[in-house]
Chain A
């Protein structure tokens, strides 16, 4: 079975949902070159999130609140929410979208927090970046320390520019999480003959499951 290091995955998830807007200046560059602004954004934001998660002075309730705010402020939630619906983003009704958006949000937060339970103390180090096109950058990082016996390579896809960057996906061991989630969700809707309500109901159930039973 595919290996997904728990703390490594946690690292990826942690940074994925906790990116800060840095607003660092960067210039449009040709594909293949590095983007210092995007790198700085990932370095600062990922490290800050790890610090929050490692903060033992915060209660669980406080951490949950911080987590929620981090997503609000830093991740491109609308884009990710739309992306994970795949082809069904075209056919979802406004009423369904209004129910799906908060449901997906609650599901994602619940899942990520569960994965991050024993994740703390790591250090993020940017190792490079690749500009796919202006405003679309893959930033490579290595996460070390904490309980990681070996450095964990994590790549971040960030969109934006000098006015601000946002993360839309994160990759660990070659696996992009948003892409995987999209294929998961689309298949679930396909299996329900296109009924998006089935996915919404399943996400609602999953989000409500106690952490210990996950």
Chain B
């Protein structure tokens, strides 16, 4: 592998890695508010991409289609929370897992019925003329993905640190009982977290669609990768989620480049799960700490 090839793999790794990062952020927001792992998180990513395609095909300008998709999926996240999560906030872990798994199956199948089995593209935000970096090339869409991810991460940090609502969300993640006693509306925090989580993941889906298309079945895999990224960075730690996502994307890309066997890309998906299992076995608190995984 030459240096330029290496650079090329890094670029493609960062692009997909940003999407994993946004999905991981989605997991983190919900986990911090409710201690629930949302197994339907990847479906929000998929819904984001497909909704943007539909809006665009219906004649909306690209920017409106993309922002509209993010908003619609954000509302969908809130509706999902109201219908399925709220009744089970105090139920056991098993019930919560089962409900989000059921939602994931239902959403995926509904998407197949609505959008069909074909994967579909979306035009790149600003053309597709590659930019030369040495001998490697970088797509304008990659820069968009990186920039928007950065904006989302910074905005999220400001929200958490500077606003009263953000502080209330953090208070709930530390101790929801005590936060309630201080007058924080827990149900509002949960609702907000689901809306933001769905919207952020949908933004990831919207941005990756011009690069790798979107189909009804893509959500499950993206969700798993996002979770692996969240675990890698330490579950519950937003900065860790971003670093975990980018690292996972780059690791995957380099594996394809470095494996000396034919059809190495077929093993790409296994990399994420191998990392997931290794982290779970060896260092369940993630590489960057985060909240300790509860060992009973």
Partners in one complex: no
Binding site for B on A (CB under 8 A): none
